[in-house]
């Protein structure tokens, strides 16, 4: 049976996860949620199995994913699943948020939801793991994803995970994130190390960056995915005073070229 997986990613973890599952399932289309950003109306997937793969932001969904889910009509799908990637926690609340949105739209929610731990990329708050630690995390995620793909192939129905602590964290942090996220790019700056290569503008899933005289200008439609900061080849983009010395991160199995395509309806 055909599967369609809709994904959102900043630094590649969720695309790597989506691709891994797609490879294990076969006959699977992998579509960037960002490619729907300039469209309107209900999205009806042309597949019996439907998945959403995205990162956890403040124990909830990225704003663009929540808006997309509100448009997604899964009523006629046989099996609906989600995989959320995260750096440490919050997956259960994000999955429950998605389940609620889908139920409201189509009267049916997730048949299964999975949270996979991957390297954290919220560089405004901490440094991403590097070296052996990063590799260990990715190897463990790979093993998790293999097991998860098996459950999806068998269309296993699972009760969604639940964590009262995570629910509280979401209640305390997510509303502020959602109300400020698009303007959070006001913290972003670019230094003279910028070579005007345009990578930041081309990988931004929100299409939020224009180049003016070769330098990035942010237009306050930010998703806070941190892709521009992590993927700038010279590390010229900062958010406040703390990101300067911090390690940059990109999922090593995902290329810049692939990240550029997420607004184009291509894996």
Residues that bind ligand FMN (CB under 6 A): 9-14, 55-59, 85-90, 118-122, 224-226, 251
Pick between residue 44 and residue 126 the one whose CB is nearest to ligand FMN. Answer: 126
**What is the phi-psi region of residue 207: left when phi exceeds 0, alpha when psi lies from -120 to 50, beta otherwise?**
left
Smallest gap from Cβ 185 to ligand FMN, in A, equals 12
Q: Give the burial class of 167: count Cβ atoms within 10 A of its Cβ; 0-12 exposed, 13-18 middle, 19 or more buried.
A: middle
Smallest gap from Cβ 48 to ligand FMN, in A, equals 26
Smallest gap from Cβ 75 to ligand FMN, in A, equals 28
Contact of 26 with 88, CB cutoff 8 Å? no
Smallest gap from Cβ 264 to ligand FMN, in A, equals 17
Pick between residue 89 and residue 161 the one whose CB is nearest to ligand FMN. Answer: 89
Pick between residue 113 and residue 120 the one whose CB is nearest to ligand FMN. Answer: 120
Pick between residue 89 and residue 198 the one whose CB is nearest to ligand FMN. Answer: 89
Annotate 76-96 with DSSP letters as a single string. Answer: T-SEEEEEEEESSS-HHHHHH
Please report, to the nearest 10 degrees, the dihedral formed by the alpha carbons of residues 13, 19, 25, 29 taken in order. Answer: 130
């Amino acid at each position: 049976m055909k599967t369609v997986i809709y994904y959102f990613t900043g630094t590649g973890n969720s695309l790597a996860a989506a691709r891994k599952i797609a490879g294990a399932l076969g006959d699977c289309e992998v579509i960037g949620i960002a490619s729907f950003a300039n469209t309107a109306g209900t999205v009806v997937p042309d597949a019996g199995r439907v998945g959403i793969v995205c990162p956890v932001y403040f124990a909830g969904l990225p704003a663009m994913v929540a808006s997309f889910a509100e448009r997604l009509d899964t009523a006629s799908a046989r099996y609906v699943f989600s995989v959320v990637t995260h750096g440490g926690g919050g997956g259960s609340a994000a999955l429950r948020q998605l389940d609620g949105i889908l139920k409201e739209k189509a009267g049916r929610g997730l048949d299964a939801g999975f949270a996979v731990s991957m390297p954290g990329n919220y560089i405004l708050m901490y440094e991403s793991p590097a070296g052996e630690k990063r590799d260990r995390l990715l190897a463990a995620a790979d093993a998790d994803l293999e097991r998860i793909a098996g459950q999806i192939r068998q269309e296993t129905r699972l009760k969604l995970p639940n964590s009262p602590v995570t629910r509280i964290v979401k209640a305390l942090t997510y509303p502020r994130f959602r109300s400020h996220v698009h303007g959070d790019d006001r913290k972003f700056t670019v230094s003279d190390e910028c070579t005007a290569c345009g990578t930041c503008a081309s990988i931004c899933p929100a299409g939020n960056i224009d180049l003016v005289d070769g330098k990035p200008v942010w237009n306050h439609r930010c998703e806070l995915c941190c892709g521009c900061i992590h993927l700038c080849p010279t590390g010229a983009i900062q958010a406040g005073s703390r990101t300067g010395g911090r390690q940059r991160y990109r999922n090593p199995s995902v290329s810049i070229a692939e990240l550029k395509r997420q607004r184009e309806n291509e894996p």
